[in-house]
């Protein structure tokens, strides 16, 4: 009974922690890369990134838009977009967008 | 098995996974293209007080050494910079190289700070010298009469060690620095 209470308390505690959008999520650790978008332009000579972070699921800041990432690299024709999701113990989470293009 | 042991095992596995994941993809991305491979060294912050210079590096690798490396950087400062002279790279008083050409990509104000984004170029040997310098690296931003110095931190030490090893194996010529 005591163990069940501990597990329930942990589940409750973790459910309000920092989570990051990802097709697969690890409660303790997440390090995922996945595709976000693709266009008909196959050429990529530049890469731009943009990210947003969350702490404890309480504060989340940043601009992880495709527009921000493309602007940083001077990309006007996008080839494809990937993203990366990282989180550690629900304390810290980061979402990074990678825009490829020319 | 007691619950404490199960939790300990799960946490140990998670920590091992986290440690194992300190791999090249954390600092470097590669993309195969027709006729070349695109290398992208992810942004690493160089901080000095409340100012930050965050460079990233992109180059195309065909056969032989890359001609040049595109260096784009964000400069966060209290005052805006519309123009730059060049960036110089130093390690222990020794000049490792400097950037050539510069283009202002954009300038905007965010949360009371100016975000200036510049694009410039460096040679591949200069990039290798920067990676070899590790935490001793210092980037100087030259703009008219102003020189701002940004020392490397732990993040650059970790990133440079990993990237140096990968580039040494895949692109080569570390000895030609």
- pLDDT confidence of residue B176: 45
Digit-coded pLDDT (tens) for B21-77? 555 578 999 999 999 999 999 999 999 999 999 999 999 998 888 889 999 999 999
Which residues on A lie below 8 Å from B10 (Cβ)?
Answer: 28
Token couple for B52: 């930050």
Average pLDDT of the residues in B102-130 = 94
A77–B contact, CB cutoff 8 A: no
Beta strands in A1-102 (DSSP E): 29-38, 46-55, 59-62, 78-88, 92-101
Q: Is the pLDDT of residue A38 over 50?
A: yes
| Dist CA B58 CA B121 (whole Å) | 10
Instruction: Measure in Å the smallest separation between the Cα of A89 and chain B Cα atoms.
Output: 9
Tell whether the torsion through CA atoms of B155, B157, B160 and B164 is positive or negative.
negative
Q: Which sequence spans correspond to the domains of chain A?
A: 2-101
Q: Is the pLDDT of residue A98 over 80?
A: yes
A61–B contact, CB cutoff 8 A: no
A49–B contact, CB cutoff 8 A: yes
Q: How confident is the model at residue A64 (pLDDT cuts 50, 70, 90)?
A: very high
Largest CA distance in chain B: 69
Q: Is the pLDDT of residue B155 over 60?
A: yes
- pLDDT confidence of residue A16: 57
**pLDDT greater at residue A26 or residue B120:** B120
CB pair distance less than 8 Å for A47 and B21: no
B24–A contact, CB cutoff 8 A: no
Phi-psi group of B108: left, alpha or beta (phi > 0 → left; psi -120 to 50 → alpha; rest → beta)? beta
Q: Which of A3, A31, A89 sits opposite B3 (nearest CB)?
A: A3
Average pLDDT of the residues in A68-89 = 94
Of B108, B131, B165, B112, whose CA–CA distance to B55 is shortest? B131
Q: Which sequence spans correspond to the domains of chain B?
A: 27-176
- pLDDT confidence of residue A4: 67
- CB-based contacts of B64, cutoff 8 Å, min separation 6: none
Percent of chain B with pLDDT over 90: 67
CB pair distance less than 8 Å for B33 and A6: no
- pLDDT confidence of residue B177: 43
Percent of chain A with pLDDT over 90: 56
Percent of chain B with pLDDT over 70: 88
């Amino acid at each position: 009974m005591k163990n069940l209470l501990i597990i329930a308390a942990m589940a409750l505690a973790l459910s309000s922690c920092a989570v990051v959008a990802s097709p697969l999520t690890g409660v303790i650790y997440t390090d995922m890369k996945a595709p976000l978008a693709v266009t008909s332009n196959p050429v990529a000579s530049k890469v731009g990134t943009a990210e947003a972070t969350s702490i404890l699921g309480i504060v989340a800041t940043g601009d992880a838009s495709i527009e921000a990432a493309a602007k940083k690299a001077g990309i006007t024709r996008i080839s494809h977009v990937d993203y990366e999701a990282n989180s550690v113990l629900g304390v810290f989470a980061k979402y990074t967008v990678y825009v490829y293009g020319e | 098995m007691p619950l404490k042991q199960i939790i300990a095992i799960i946490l140990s596995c998670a920590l091992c996974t986290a440690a194992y994941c300190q791999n090249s993809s954390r600092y470097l991305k590669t993309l195969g293209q027709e006729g070349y491979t695109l290398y992208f060294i992810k942004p690493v912050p160089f901080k000095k007080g409340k100012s930050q210079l965050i460079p990233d590096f992109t180059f195309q690798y065909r056969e032989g050494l890359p001609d040049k490396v595109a260096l784009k950087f964000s400069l966060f400062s209290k005052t805006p910079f519309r123009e730059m002279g060049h960036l110089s790279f130093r390690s222990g008083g020794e000049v490792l190289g400097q950037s050539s050409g510069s283009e202002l990509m954009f300038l905007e104000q965010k949360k009371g700070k100016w975000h200036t984004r510049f694009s410039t170029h460096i040679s591949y040997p200069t990039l290798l010298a920067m990676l070899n310098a590790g935490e001793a690296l210092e980037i100087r931003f030259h703009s008219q009469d102003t020189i701002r110095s940004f020392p490397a931190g732990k993040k650059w030490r970790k990133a440079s060690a990993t990237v140096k090893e990968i580039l040494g194996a895949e692109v080569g010529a570390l000895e030609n620095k």
